[in-house]
Amino acid sequence: MNLLQNKKIAIIGGGPGGLTLARLLQLKGANVKVYERDLNRDVRKQGGTLDLHTESGLKALEEAGLMDAFKANYRPDADRVRVVDENAKIFFDEHNEEPNGHFGDEWFRPEIDRGPLRNILLDSLQPDTVVWDSHMVSLESIDNTWKIIFENGNTVIADIVIGADGAKSKIRPFVTPIKPFYSGVTVLEGNIYDSEKNAPKIHDLLQGGKIMGLGDSKTISVSAKGDGSLDFYTGWKVDTNWVTDSGIDFKNSNQVLEWFKKEYSNWDSIWLELFEVENTIFIPRPQYCMPLDQKWEAKTNITLIGDAAHWMPPYAGEGVNMAMLDALQLSESLTNEKFTDLKSAIAHYEKQMFARFAEIGKETLDNTEFMHSPDGLKKLIEMFGQGPN
């Protein structure tokens, strides 16, 4: 029995999870559209690098028939990490090691920039699968279908709606009232163009890979990108309302620099390079997490994947991998002949997703806590399997 026959599927959100799901469903002959709020595929600069894992992100790409495209676009050695303290002293360095794995190895985690990954997925879809400039504002249930209303005035009717619309999902309230809780850590994100010129000391320390800096119960992580820029993220423990209570204008780089000098006063001056570049756009991101024991009764024609389903902090590198594995498992459930109705298929997917999130979410929260503790550096070095020098 083909549960998707004559069904129109609407995926809300064109990130890696939503696009992977669209590709996998199209391979099975499904009628699917992706509704993305961006005006077009080039309007927004895509964020940092992503490390894909064998059992999740890479597995989904394999099933999607896109591994050759991935291998042509990933960045060898961009996964090499340097762990440093607040003075930029190196305690662990993968640049001195042999290449750490190959495709098929359990622990191989090749890096790809978010932009090229998105392009691989977009280029794999049938023409006009993605409907751009589609910012959803509301959803109405009508006779076992969904009426989706967009900001631009367009409306569509879909038989099945899948929320792949991220942490602040507008689809989630139609699936569950469960809300996220604050993790205790806020991240400030920035990007520096032409890092060799604009942040030469950090650029040299990066060596085209990643830096994880820990000290004073705070973190700074930096990732090199293929376009010569770098992304960086500061993380520290602070009240949930800090973003508004601080009074900082995050578009004013001088104000952010002054804040950094005070908040990270025990850190070496090398890190100031990240904040002294004029016109850097800073994005504050309080880190939330869904309850690890979250569950809800499956609906007949709506579900969630990715951050919309299980928003969590970034300190395990699992976000995009979870989203892509969600896409794989949901596509398998929806096209599995053994299910006689959509609710059963959705319930089967959600049961797997809940179990995975309970485990990986705990790991993520544990990492978030220890990395922002006085012993963060020591524990991270131990996690990498090497004691302090």
Annotated binding-site ranges for NADPH: 44
Backbone dihedral angles phi then psi of residue 260, each to the nearest 5 degrees: -65, -40
Amino acid at 268: D
Known binding-site residue numbers:
44, 51, 114, 307
The DSSP element (H or E) to which 93 belongs, if any, is strand 90-93
Known binding-site residue numbers for FAD:
51, 114, 307
Residues 92 and 56 sit within 8 Å (Cβ to Cβ):
no
Structure tokens at 35: 């509704």
The four Cα atoms 252, 49, 241, 253 give a dihedral, to 10 degrees, of: -10
Residues 161 and 301 sit within 8 Å (Cβ to Cβ):
yes
Angle subtended at Cα 182 by Cα 178 and Cα 183, rounded to the nearest 5 degrees: 120
Amino acid at 65: G
Amino acid at 304: L
CB count within 10 Å of CB 15 equals: 26
Read off the DSSP letter of residue 72.
H
Structure tokens at 165: 């619309």
**337 to 5, 328, 342: CA distances (angstroms):** 12, 16, 11
- For residue 50, is it left (φ>0), alpha (ψ between -120 and 50) or beta? beta
**How many Å apart are CA 204 and CA 206, to the nearest integer?**
5
- 367: nearest Cα among 306, 263, 289: 289
Residues 304 and 169 sit within 8 Å (Cβ to Cβ):
yes
